[in-house]
Chains A and B, each alone.
Chain A
Amino acid sequence: MIKIEDVLIVDDEPSLQFFYEQVLIMNGFEVVGIANNGIEAVSMFKSFSNKPKVILMDQRMPEMSGIEASRIILQIDNRVKVIFISADASIKEEAISIGVFLFIDKIFTIDELVDAINNAIRSYSSSTDN
């Protein structure tokens, strides 16, 4: 187990928000916030004085998509590791091109999600150590 790290959840589906939160907590992460769409995510990220290291980002949301929100957030702080979650594989290339750390296809298991978050935190740590 790595030390407790902060994660931001961005998804418009309340049930998924609920399960993601449970999974993260049970795996020793701290959920610093839950955003219902891209606009809320950007707004929250800006408001954090201590920025989360990892963001779980859904793509398809009302008002602002995950791609748009990721682009803005990464411009604000490109060290943050965005884990992009979508059933639409066609946007994977675009997501990677804007600096997203990892693209996870729906449907995934909890183990896959936890592994992805751990990898992201390791990557974050190594990049900031350098």
Chain B
Amino acid sequence: MRNIANKTKALKNKFKSLFKGIPIPTYSWQKIDEDLILIDYNDAAEIITKGMIKNYVGMKASEMYKNQPEILEELFRCANDRISIFREMKYDYKSTGEERFVSVMYGFIPPDLVIVHTEDITEKKEVLERLKISEAELKVLNEKLKYRIDSSEEQYRAIFENTGTATLILEEDTTISLVNGHFEELSGYSREEIEWKKVWSEFVVKEDLERMKKLHYSRRIDPESTLKKYEFRFINKEGNIRNILIVIDMIPGTKKSIASLLDITERKKIEEKLKDSEEKARYLIDGITSVGIGIDIITKDYKILFQNQILKEKFGDITGKFCYENYMGLKAPCDFCPMIKALKNNTIESTELIGVDGNNYEIFSAPYLDSDRNTVKVIEIIMNITRRKQAERALWESEEKYRGAFNRAEFYKDIFAHDINNILQCILSGMEVNQLILEKPEKLEDLKINDNIIREQVIRGTKLVSNVRKLSQLEDIKQDLEKIEILNVLENTISLIKKSYKVKKMAFQIDTIEEILFIKANAFINDVFDNLLINAIDHNINPIIEITIKISKEQQNDMNYLKIEFLDNGIGVEDTMKGKILKRGYNEENSVLGMGLGLSLVQRIIETYNGKIWVEDRVKGDRSKGSNFVLLIPEVD
């Protein structure tokens, strides 16, 4: 028993030691007479109450906590209900007068003890409070961050939706995880039908698929080296094929890629058309080039923008240089430049010119409009027309030749129709008259006269034929001129005429300044003198035909001429006829009919000598006194 008592005492001491050594302030209350009495406390309680607790030992709980009924109630509830209660609370330490946060644990120990542990959690509470504040701040921060993230996501989504192109995000396994509205429009599917349900390969034509798959996997291995922009053919829900330009890259830090798809079908069509037009234009230019036609484009300020091969071969590559300098060797734009007019009037203009190479060119300038329909430059087509010009000249010469031949034919017809017929009519009529005269002896004297007239007509006919032949020679053969002494020629001509006109009484006189005079002429000078003298004889009704040939010198325009005047006492020439009398010929529009051919031949011959001929009255103002045919022929020393 004593052992038990000793053991109990030892246990009690051990408990008391344990109680005292608990680092948490602990108070021991015992239920006595329906109240609880403070019976003990430990060292931690003494420390926290600064030793004041000893004054409260033996005090009833109802007294100690009369102003703190919640503590009192918990004490009794623990004692009566034999339960443990834990709570935190503010507590006014009566011993120190401090208000502290404490955690209180009421523990019942049978049969009648209530052990109260109190722990000052003021510091802990403050830390917790601070933590609580931090948590709130964290929450606010979190909210803010969340908002920012949400906002950012919204922004990114807005951007994603409004890129202006069909945009989609592709997973590594080719699944389409996100698309925007433009992709819905492009594909014809809703995003619900696409996202996480379709793979991009479903939208690619078979021919392009293999290439794109390679790019898809290559991009995930080496994104930088993989093509990021290319074209492919897209199949939409309707099965229509669209040309697409895709721009695709990896989303950093993921295995996803983001792709933008631009529908370039219409652009491709335009490009095709453009390509077709360009091809046609190239064929056209090549075609034009192949036939030797030059093409260039010239700016308003005369600079060459473009040359085709023909012009490059001919002038070198002179793009950027002034056209007038390089094409024409000029220092300023050409006066006849068709592009000036083409730019001014907005019309196609052309001109012909001779280039620096001596060739003939025809240039067409067509205004070239920019997109605002302003004329900013011209397209020039330059054709070498030298051969055409040569052909035209040859044709013209040929035409001239044939026209001349035609005119000659008409002229000869005219001569035969009129002059020869007149001559023949005279001869026939003369012969018939003579027949009549033979029957009338009293008229026999007239036979001789008529015979002479008939003879003259024969001479006239012969002369006419000779003149026609010589006129023809003058037209057909270039006449070489030589130094000819004229007095000798003149005297010989007079001598021959005298023999031809035996029955006519004629007086010739030559007045000359020198005995020997030279002109630059040829054998046709005989015909000049011959025809002038015959004209003077034929148009003279005086019994004695007087002809004076006056030779002098005259200078005109620094040229030395011999002036040879044939003065006669014939019927003269009407003033109105003085300008026309020399004009008869097959090239003269207003040639005078019925005037003979001799004077025309004279005119032509004198022209080939670079000389002059005209007719005036022998006595000025009185044509009835006869004519003066004046020749000016270049003199030779």
Decide if A13 is an interface residue (CB 8 Å cutoff).
yes
Question: Which listed residue (B433, B456, B594) contacts A61, Cβ 8 A?
Answer: B594
Give Cα A88 to B446, complex, Å: 31
Give Cα A115 to B13, complex, Å: 204
Question: Which listed residue (B424, B436, B593) contacts A26, Cβ 8 A?
Answer: B436
Question: Which listed residue (A12, A13, A22, A60) contacts B433, Cβ 8 A?
Answer: A22
State the main secondary structure of chain A at its contact with B. Answer: loop
Give Cα A62 to B374, complex, Å: 66
Interface residues of B in 266-313 (CB under 8 A from A): none
The chain B residue with its CB closest to the CB of A88 is B417
Question: Which listed residue (B426, B432, B592) contacts A15, Cβ 8 A?
Answer: B426
State the main secondary structure of chain B at its contact with A. Answer: helix
Give Cα A129 to B7, complex, Å: 210
Bitwise interface map of A from 100 to 117 toward B, beta carbon under 8 Å scored 1, else 0:
000000111110000000
Cβ A20 vs Cβ B418 within 8 A: no
Interface residues of A in 52-71 (CB under 8 A from B): 58, 60-63, 65
Highest count of chain B CB atoms <10 Å: which of A19, A63, A87, A106: A19
Interface residues of B in 398-454 (CB under 8 A from A): 417-418, 421-422, 424-426, 428-430, 432-433, 436, 440, 446, 450, 453
Decide if A16 is an interface residue (CB 8 Å cutoff).
yes
Decide if A96 is an interface residue (CB 8 Å cutoff).
no
Question: Which listed residue (A12, A20, A22, A108) contacts B446, Cβ 8 A?
Answer: A22
Decide if A76 is an interface residue (CB 8 Å cutoff).
no
**What residues on A are CB-neighbors of B580 within 8 Å?**
62
Decide if A23 is an interface residue (CB 8 Å cutoff).
yes
**What residues on A are CB-neighbors of B417 within 8 Å?**
87-88
Q: In angstroms, how far is the closest chain B Cβ from the Cβ of A85?
A: 9
Question: Which listed residue (A20, A26, A106, A108) contacts B422, Cβ 8 A?
Answer: A106
Cβ A18 vs Cβ B453 within 8 A: yes
Q: Given contacts A87-B421, A106-B421, is CB(A26)–CB(B433) below 8 Å?
A: yes
Decide if B55 is an interface residue (CB 8 Å cutoff).
no
Highest count of chain A CB atoms <10 Å: which of B425, B426, B440, B574: B425
Interface residues of B in 100-129 (CB under 8 A from A): none
The chain A residue with its CB closest to the CB of B453 is A15
Number of interface residues of B (CB under 8 A): 29
Give Cα A104 to B576, complex, Å: 30
Interface residues of B in 568-613 (CB under 8 A from A): 574, 576-577, 580, 592-595
Cβ B433 vs Cβ A107 within 8 A: no
Decide if B457 is an interface residue (CB 8 Å cutoff).
yes
Highest count of chain B CB atoms <10 Å: which of A61, A87, A110: A87
**What residues on A are CB-neighbors of B436 within 8 Å?**
23, 26, 110
Cβ A19 vs Cβ B429 within 8 A: yes
Cβ A109 vs Cβ B592 within 8 A: no
The chain B residue with its CB closest to the CB of A21 is B433
**What residues on B are CB-neighbors of A22 within 8 Å?**
433, 446, 450
Number of A-B contacts (CB under 8 A): 70
Cβ A106 vs Cβ B425 within 8 A: yes
The chain A residue with its CB closest to the CB of B439 is A26
Number of interface residues of A (CB under 8 A): 24
Give Cα A97 to B539, complex, Å: 35
Give Cα A12 to B417, complex, Å: 15
The chain B residue with its CB closest to the CB of A36 is B571
Cβ B429 vs Cβ A62 within 8 A: no
**What residues on A are CB-neighbors of B430 within 8 Å?**
15, 19
**What residues on B are CB-neighbors of A109 within 8 Å?**
428, 432
Cβ B593 vs Cβ A110 within 8 A: no
Give Cα A63 to B450, complex, Å: 28
Question: Which listed residue (A14, A20, A63, A65) contacts B429, Cβ 8 A?
Answer: A20
**What residues on B are CB-neighbors of A110 within 8 Å?**
429, 432-433, 436
**What residues on B are CB-neighbors of A65 within 8 Å?**
593
Q: In angstroms, how far is the closest chain B Cβ from the Cβ of A99?
A: 23
Cβ A12 vs Cβ B426 within 8 A: no
Highest count of chain A CB atoms <10 Å: which of B429, B430, B580: B429
The chain B residue with its CB closest to the CB of A27 is B436
Q: In angstroms, how far is the closest chain B Cβ from the Cβ of A91?
A: 11
**What residues on B are CB-neighbors of A12 within 8 Å?**
594
Interface residues of A in 1-34 (CB under 8 A from B): 12-16, 18-20, 22-23, 26
The chain B residue with its CB closest to the CB of A87 is B421
Cβ B453 vs Cβ A107 within 8 A: no
The chain B residue with its CB closest to the CB of A23 is B433
Give Cα A94 to B428, complex, Å: 27
Cβ A107 vs Cβ B428 within 8 A: yes
Question: Which listed residue (B426, B541, B574, B576) contacts A16, Cβ 8 A?
Answer: B426
**What residues on A are CB-neighbors of B538 within 8 Å?**
14
Give Cα A47 to B537, complex, Å: 31
Cβ B576 vs Cβ A13 within 8 A: no
Question: Which listed residue (B418, B428, B440, B576) contacts A60, Cβ 8 A?
Answer: B418
**What residues on A are CB-neighbors of B450 within 8 Å?**
19, 22
Cβ A16 vs Cβ B425 within 8 A: yes
Q: In angstroms, how far is the closest chain B Cβ from the Cβ of A88?
A: 6
The chain A residue with its CB closest to the CB of B421 is A87
Give Cα A109 to B424, complex, Å: 11
Give Cα A112 to B432, complex, Å: 12
Cβ B424 vs Cβ A107 within 8 A: yes
Q: In angstroms, how far is the closest chain B Cβ from the Cβ of A98?
A: 19
Q: Given contacts A22-B433, A26-B436, A110-B433, is CB(A63)–CB(B577) below 8 Å?
A: yes
Given A22-B446, A23-B433, A109-B428, 4 new contacts (CB under 8 A): A15-B456, A19-B433, A23-B429, A110-B429
Jot down 11 A-B pairs with beta carbons below 8 A, ordered by A: A13-B422, A15-B457, A16-B422, A22-B450, A26-B440, A60-B418, A62-B593, A65-B593, A87-B422, A88-B417, A109-B432
Q: Which residues of B contact A (CB under 8 A)?
A: 417-418, 421-422, 424-426, 428-430, 432-433, 436, 440, 446, 450, 453, 456-457, 538, 541, 574, 576-577, 580, 592-595
